[in-house]
A and B are shown apart, each in its own frame.
Chain A
Amino acid sequence: MSDRLSFHVQRDSFLHRLNPLTKLTLAFALVVVAFVLPFYWTPIFVLFAVIVPLSVSGKIFREFSWAALRLILPAVGFLFVMQALFQPIGEQVVFKFYFLDATTESVAYAFRNAARIFVMISAFTLFLLSTHPSELMSDLTRRGLPSQFSYVVISTLQIIPQMQAKANAIIAAQRSRGLDTESSFLKRAGALGPLVGPLVFGSLVEVEERAIAIEARGFTSKRAKTSLYEIADSKFESVLRWSLVALVVLSIGLNLWHS
């Protein structure tokens, strides 16, 4: 059996070869630009002119599309509907749902916010799909970040797939004891306790065991650590990172000037 313990998908591509910090900077920059640039279509432009082409060139378009359609779109779609119906702005009603009105303005407002959230999650999905957590950790540590901080970042990136693998094992164990997880919604809702209990407790135990295990191997040692991996970086990437930072500053400046 194979359980993926991170989102990373191994491919030989330009995107994969980029330094992890460059990709992280890019993800942050895209999010900031999508949120603060005072042009209505900016998030859509960022999505279709930057994120989607990057996923294609990174040879991870299939995995990216899967995540976008199965995970991001439903969440963002829900947000769009809620904001379109509940945002009390505008007068020209375009849709009525019982006593709730969606106006031209509320739909436009909801669409812009939904697009921004879509860009935010997409940018980090792209980052996670193309960056192995250990590479990111090595690079961050090499740049002088405390190893404890790097560990927190890596743990955060790994926790969802790890919990997914653990949840699958727990579901199998409880189903084997006759727990019905396949029929009606009510029965499945009733099955939550036996599933969540071992998941939470197991995760807490795992965190403690992992903390002890890495401490036993000198994790908090004050001596300079040796890096096992050589993470490639270049002058070009350094320039690219600073350019992205400049873009962020420019976007914030434009936003302030515009308002």
Chain B
Amino acid sequence: MNIEIKSLHFAYPDGTEALKGISLTIASGEQIAIVGQNGAGKTTLARHLNGLLKPSGGTVFVGDWETTQHPVAKLAARVGYVFQNPDEQLFSRDVLTEVSFGPRNLGYAKEKVDALAQRALALTELSEKTEVNPYDLSPTWRKMVALASIIAMDTPIVVFDEPTTGQDAANVARIARVVAELKREGKTVIAITHDIDFCAENFERVVALSRGQILLDGATRDVLGQEAVLAQTYVEPPQLTRLGKRLGLKETVVNQEELLQALKK
């Protein structure tokens, strides 16, 4: 399911112009990271995808649906959105009920709800914690519950808002595995992130925003290689990429494997 954004403008009620003519096409099954300084418009852009925000100008199509023509509750069947703070959504007495909440809202049969919930719990390594109250879990595991509750909705598009913020290395690795699995299933994954290493290792395309406009859009390697341009939106390429440059490597490297290969050459 493609996403087609054309000349998207958005201004908040206080007059702040957050998006200034964004045009973007995201093909079905792509893995995209959206990066940029605070206030660049990343979250504002992502919230247009499931209709939480409606454009001041321009259009946003998710598949053949224009987001202004459908309520959020309906768009939720196409776009899953994992919020940054899990505590803003958890309310059920146990993990299984919490994870089942989304698919139940979408009106799936009980058997399908159970199957989707179990699959999401397995993917997020929560299968042993189904009967635990989410608030008895650590913040990192609560994040995984929030993530599982969106994956269980089985949407073709999943948006992660700052998935790795405040997470330990083990949980970042878990989230990376979830992203990889979603990719394997052919889902579109969009992440808003400041974690440039996570971005380099897990996403094939990067969109850099600055002051409500697209600064760069392209393959991860191409975008992260443009250190000077990225500096305009206060994004630093991964440490390995900068090390590669300092070592005088001709190609841009974005992970350890690529650095080792380049050094061997």
Contact = CB atoms under 8 A, between A and B. Distances in A.
A197 B134 CA distance: 12
Interface stretch (B27-35, B84-92, B248-256): B84-92
A145 interface: no
Given A172-B47, A178-B102, A178-B153, 18 more contacts: A1-B43, A1-B44, A170-B88, A173-B89, A174-B89, A175-B52, A176-B52, A176-B76, A176-B80, A177-B102, A177-B153, A178-B73, A178-B77, A179-B101, A182-B71, A197-B91, A201-B135, A202-B88
Nearest to A173: B89
Q: Which 9 A-B pairs have the closest CB atoms?
A: A197-B91, A178-B105, A178-B76, A173-B89, A176-B81, A177-B102, A175-B72, A180-B73, A173-B88
A179 B105 contact: yes
Given A172-B47, A182-B71, A177 B89 contact: yes
Contact of B91 (A169, A181, A198): A198
B73 A182 contact: yes
Contacts of B105: 177-180
B228 interface: no
A194 B100 CA distance: 13
Given A197-B91, A202-B88, A205-B87, A1 B12 contact: yes
A77 B29 CA distance: 56
Interface in A158-199: 166, 169-170, 172-183, 193-194, 196-198
A176 B83 contact: yes
Nearest to B43: A1
A172 B52 contact: yes
A131 to B, nearest CB: 21
B134 to A, nearest CB: 10
B243 interface: no
Interface of B: 12, 14, 16, 43-44, 47, 50, 52, 71-73, 76-77, 79-81, 83, 85, 87-92, 101-102, 105-106, 135, 149-150, 153
A177 B149 contact: yes
A177 B88 contact: no
A6 to B, nearest CB: 15
Nearest to A181: B73
A2 interface: yes
Contacts of B92: 197
A123 B99 CA distance: 47
Contacts of A181: 73
Nearest to A166: B88
Contacts of B50: 176
Contacts of A197: 90-92
Contacts of A194: 89, 91, 101
Given A172-B47, A178-B105, A198 B90 contact: yes
A178 B89 CA distance: 12
Nearest to B106: A178
B189 to A, nearest CB: 16
Contacts of A2: 12, 14, 16
Residue with the greatest number of chain B CB neighbours at <10 A, chosen from A169, A178, A183, A201: A178
- Interface centre among B77, B105, B135, by most chain A C-beta atoms within 10 angstroms, is B105
Contacts of B16: 2
A69 to B, nearest CB: 18
Nearest to B85: A169
Nearest to B53: A172
A198 B73 contact: no
B135 to A, nearest CB: 6
9 contacts: A1-B43, A172-B83, A173-B83, A177-B150, A178-B73, A178-B76, A180-B73, A197-B91, A201-B90
A201 B43 CA distance: 25
A218 to B, nearest CB: 26
Nearest to A197: B91
A172 B81 CA distance: 10
A181 B149 CA distance: 18
A183 B71 CA distance: 9
A174 to B, nearest CB: 6
Contacts of A180: 71, 73, 105
A193 B91 CA distance: 8
Contacts of B102: 177-178
A194 B92 CA distance: 8
B212 to A, nearest CB: 13
A201 to B, nearest CB: 6
Specify which of B72, B77, B150 lies most central, judged by the most chain A CB atoms within 10 Å of its CB.
B72
A177 B76 CA distance: 6
Contacts of B91: 193-194, 196-198, 201
Contacts of B85: 169
A174 B101 CA distance: 9
A10 to B, nearest CB: 13
